[in-house]
Structure 1
Amino acid sequence: MNPLEKLAATIAERRGADPDTSWTATLLAKGPEKCAEKFGEEAVEAIVEAVKGDRGRLTAEAADVLYHLLVMLAARDVTLAEVMAELERREGTSGIAEKARR
């Protein structure tokens, strides 16, 4: 299991945890909209660090983005496996061709 799969599994395990003891449970208890909002905040922070050019800070913010993306997906019952299957489906397809199909 790679680190992203481990993180997704941990998020799934914490879905029913006590929000007083788990940040993940706290986010999920607030609902999908709050999870999406938090993901957006983290994405903006990653963008800021990308513009600034600080590799270390960008790396840390990218990790936060991945965590909050997985929480947002969990809030809507979308699994990492489903996202990975979609990426596999798109493999070998030009990004231009993919966009044209949508």
Structure 2
Amino acid sequence: MSSSILEDLAATIRSRRSADPAVSYTRRLIDGAPLKPAKKLGEEAVETVIAAMSESDKALTGEAADLLYHLLVVLECRNIDVADVLKELEARVGTSGIEEKQRRSTR
């Protein structure tokens, strides 16, 4: 999978800032920032964990998609570009998780 789908989805979410809240779930989330989208992200994270532990691969896939969508909404609410997150991930490629956590603790 290319990151372009995440960037495309982030652009769609950004465009929803000007959508009619009567017809746009994304706009209603954005209007409720920071609490509403953050709470929804937390709910989706829990649902993803539950699916990972006890549900089908299809259920986990659906919950993971929901989680990514809601994460992108939270990032949009904070004006954080998904490209910056992808750059951070790219910078971590080839670095062990232990090394990366040590680097974060010294920032």
Unaligned 5+ residue runs, structure 2?
Answer: none
Distance 2:54 2:90 in 1: 33
2:6 paired residue among 4, 7, 13: 4
1:15 deviation in Å? 1.2
- Give the partner amino acid of 1:16: S
Q: Which residue of 2 aligns with 1:86?
A: 88
Distance 2:11 2:36 in 1: 21
Q: Which residue of 1 aligns with 2:63?
A: 61
Unaligned 5+ residue runs, structure 1?
Answer: none
SS in 1 for 2:18: coil
Paired-residue identity, %: 54
Matching of residue 72 in structure 1 with residue 74 in structure 2: yes
- Give the partner amino acid of 1:67: Y
Distance 1:64 1:70 in 2: 10
Distance 1:32 1:16 in 2: 17
SS in 2 for 1:18: coil
Q: Which residue of 2 aligns with 1:30?
A: 32
The alignment covers a number of residue pairs equal to 102
1:88 deviation in Å? 1.5
The TM-score normalised by the length of structure 2 is 0.89
1:81 deviation in Å? 0.5
Moved >4 Å (runs of 4+): none
2:19 paired residue among 17, 22, 25: 17
